[in-house]
Amino acid sequence: MARMKSSMTMFMMMIMVASMQMHGSMAQTRHVVGDTLGWTIPTGDAYTTWASQQTFNVGDTLFFNFTTGIHNVAEVSQAAYDPCTTANPISITTTGPATITLTTGGAHYYICTVGTHCQIGQKLAINVSATPAAPTTPPPATPTPPPVPTPVSPPTTTPSPAPVPSTTTTPPPTTTPSPSPVGANPPSPTTSGPSPSDRTTPSPPGDTTPPPPSPSTAARSFTVVVPATFLAVALAFFY
């Protein structure tokens, strides 16, 4: 149990040290006022030009490099800054060099209250950002999702249709009888045996009377007799 408490204590100490190191990594900027010129009577608008090239944030420090008894640094309001009014400053430091921490955002005004140094140009106006500067860390790269493979469909094979047996029957060849020649007389049917007109009825036995001539025989006889008679009459008429 004691070992666990000791481990927890060590862990908390490590977190505190890491937090202090992180706070130190977000180190505030130390601005040397005027750079190599220091805090003195300038030529022209040297401090205005220097301030325009800086970025001030809450927590930064201003380092005024001057000799004690020759210069001082006083923070004043905007109303006192323009006419270089030295009465009732917000704060004043007479021992040099002096370091002032920027604890609030907004406009800050500093002047030297010795003699007419402010009127000559030993004055500084800056604008402080209310948000402390944070280290710029590039945003993490967004991983690009891998491309989704497109599913490949297998080729579709269409089965060949089964052969359908043919139900069409070929009609047998039609034989057309050749037409008879024009003018040809159809053959007469041949009859075997005597015609009904030539048939004679047999007489019963014992009858001696000759049968009467058949109508066809009488007609043939008449046909033969009539032309002969007509021929005789014609010869008699001429002679």
Report yes or no on 53 lying in a domain. yes
Domain ranges, residue 80: 28-129
pLDDT digits (tens, 9 = 90+) for 132-175: 555 555 555 665 666 666 666 666 666 666 655 555 555 555 55
Classify residue 183 by its DSSP letter: T
**H/E run at residue 76:** strand 73-76
User: Residue 226 — φ and ψ, nearest 5°?
Assistant: -60, -45
Report yes or no on 10 lying in a domain. no
Report yes or no on 106 lying in a domain. yes
Report yes or no on 46 lying in a domain. yes
The pLDDT value given to residue 213: 55
Number of residues that this document lists for the chain = 239
CATH number of domain containing 51: 2.60.40.420
Number of domains, the chain: 1
Report yes or no on 190 lying in a domain. no
Report yes or no on 120 lying in a domain. yes
pLDDT digits (tens, 9 = 90+) for 31-68: 999 999 999 999 889 999 999 999 999 999 999 999 99
pLDDT digits (tens, 9 = 90+) for 97-127: 999 999 999 999 999 999 999 999 999 999 9
Cα torsion angle, 199, 203, 208, 209, sign: negative
Report yes or no on 123 lying in a domain. yes
Report yes or no on 213 lying in a domain. no
Is-contact 112 35, C-beta < 8 A? Answer: no
**CA distances (Å), 5 to each of 2, 80, 98, in order?**
5, 59, 46
